[in-house]
Amino acid sequence: MDARIGLEYIIENNDYVNKLGLALDTNNVTVKKQIFELLSTLCAFSANGYKRAIETLEHYKSIKGERYRLNLVVSELDKATAVEYQIALLAFVNCVIISAGSLKERIRMRNEFIGMAVMLQQQLAFGTLVDCCASPQIMVNDVFFDDASELSSLDEGEGPTEKYVEGLNLIPVLNNLRRTASSAPDIASQLEVFDEQQECDLSQSLQVPDGIDLNSHLDVFNAILAQVAGTPQATPFLSILQHLLQIDPKEQISDIVWDTAETLVHR
């Protein structure tokens, strides 16, 4: 009961976002481990708790002048040597993905971690993505969250406003951890949760007509081209592609351009 009251207090007081974000700017591994454990608990506690956890990463990104809000998580996991800290970081990765709620948001968050440029929409011209995966049980600070009502479920429009997906490359970091997972059962367990949820989400995302792989840039492009070929839409489609070709991914403004483009086509 006391823990729940404490979490609700943090959620209700936005000042804690700034405090936690500033506290992450330290070389003290113990402090960072405790903060990530708290953020994991917030993610699993409620939708508003999830929002506060994301805002904390956004604030850290802002004060450090970084480009990607999840860069801290991946870079810390890459250089971490303490097993307990590695476990805390992996648990946070799983919590922030699983607690995103809908299939679309889970895939979006995972793609942001692994650096893929594919962002699946919940509803496309090819069909609707139906979320049928049961969320696996999450353990944070020795507390299990397995009731769907206890996991955050973000409504449309309440999710993260940024969808930056370039350059984080979590998968190589996870592969390095797999080499030592046999001697660290808790690390192996967190990796298993990540893999199982990814496989489950992938199997759902592929349940669309005509065998289109929505995780394949080429498949989606060819499907759109086939739809508009020989129609009046072919000309504006080509024009859109020509404009997109001019966007330099090395420029930070490109993040805003792509984010705006996604928002417009998703409406």
Average pLDDT across each block of 10 residues of the chain; the chain has 267 residues. List them in order. Answer: 81 89 94 96 94 94 89 94 96 95 84 59 39 50 43 40 54 92 93 92 70 74 88 90 89 84 75
| pLDDT attached to residue 158 | 42
The answer to whether the CB of 62 falls within 8 A of the CB of 161 is no
> Domain spanning 3-128+165-206: which CATH class is it, in words?
mainly alpha
Q: DSSP labels for 48-107? A: HHHHHHHHHHHHHHHHHT-S-TTHHHHHHHHH---HHHHHHHHHHHHHHHHTT-SHHHHH
Predicted model pTM: 0.68
Query: What is the model's pLDDT at position 132?
Result: 56
Q: Which amino acid is at 255?
A: D
Whether the Cβ atoms of residue 51 and residue 155 lie closer than 8 Å to each other = no
From the CA atom positions of the chain, what is the Rg in Å? 19
pLDDT at 143: 45
pLDDT at 122: 32
Across 231-251, b (16+ Cβ under 10 Å) vs e yields eeeeeebeeeeeeeeeeeeee
Given a contact cutoff of 8 angstroms between Cβ atoms, the answer to whether 95 and 138 are in contact is yes
pLDDT at 25: 94
- The pLDDT value recorded for residue 88 is 97
In the three-class reduction of DSSP (H, G, I as helix; E, B as strand; rest coil), residue 34 is classed as helix
pLDDT for residue 144: 43
- Fill in the amino acid letter for 206: L
Q: Where in the chain is the domain with CATH 1.25.10.10?
A: 3-128+165-206
Give the sign of the dihedral formed by CA 189, CA 169, CA 105, CA 123: negative
Angle between helices 47-64 and 2-12 (to 10 degrees): 50
Q: How far is CA 81 from CA 29, 88, 100, 140, 152, in A?
A: 10, 12, 28, 20, 31
